[in-house]
């Protein structure tokens, strides 16, 4: 299974902040555990099958099929669990690209910050949008017009 260095700490597991003086107060240099990877320094390759299972449900779907979840499961803690964050990212971007929710997915980008498998998760969200919503271009069409691109 592939692993890659955290993009925030560059694989060190820590981040450094240079000290400074402001007014009469001096703040020293500070080295802290990376808040993105929580000190592990690396990310494991995402399990795409697990992500797909987390963002779909068999409830209300024909036998042997799954349908896209209308809401992200509250049992998955996407702010604190790396794998749940990845599932949230794919779920939210699939809704955005598929036209189900056209507000900018800022939280999705925030919760996976530092994840070096961002491109793979983005590609999965496009594929999920096409499979469950029939398109991955709905957001581009709407926001492209807003920014004068279409």
The pLDDT mean for the chain works out to 91
Residue 133 and residue 61 share a domain: yes
30 and 80 together in one domain:
no
Do both 41 and 66 map to the same domain?
A: no
Confidence class for position 40, pLDDT limits 50, 70, 90 = very high
40 and 108 both lie in a single domain = no
Distance CA 48, CA 91 (A): 12
What is the residue whose two structure tokens read 């990310």?
43
Render pLDDT for 48-73 as a digit per residue (tens, 0 to 9). 999 999 999 998 888 889 999 999 99
Question: Which residue is it, tokens 């594929």?
Answer: 127
The total domain count for the chain is 2
Question: 99 and 65 in one domain?
Answer: yes
pTM of the model: 0.86
Q: Based on the fold, state whether residues 55 and 105 are members of the same structural domain.
A: yes
Query: Domain span at residue 118?
Result: 46-150
If asked whether residues 40 and 112 sit together in one domain, one would say no
């Amino acid at each position: 299974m592939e692993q890659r260095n955290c993009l925030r700490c560059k694989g060190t597991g820590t981040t450094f902040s240079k000290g400074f003086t402001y007014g009469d107060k001096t703040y020293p240099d500070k080295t802290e555990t990376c808040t993105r990877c929580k000190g592990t320094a690396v990310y494991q390759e995402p399990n795409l099958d697990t992500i797909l299972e987390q963002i779909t449900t068999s409830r209300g779907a024909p036998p042997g099929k799954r349908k896209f979840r209308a809401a992200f499961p509250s049992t998955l803690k996407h702010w604190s669990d790396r794998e749940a964050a990845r599932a949230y990212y794919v779920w939210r971007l699939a809704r955005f690209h598929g036209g189900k929710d056209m507000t900018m997915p800022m939280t999705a980008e925030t919760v996976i910050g530092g994840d070096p498998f961002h491109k793979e998760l983005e590609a999965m969200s496009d594929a999920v949008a096409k499979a469950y919503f029939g398109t991955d271009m709905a957001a581009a069409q709407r926001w492209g017009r807003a920014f004068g691109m279409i």
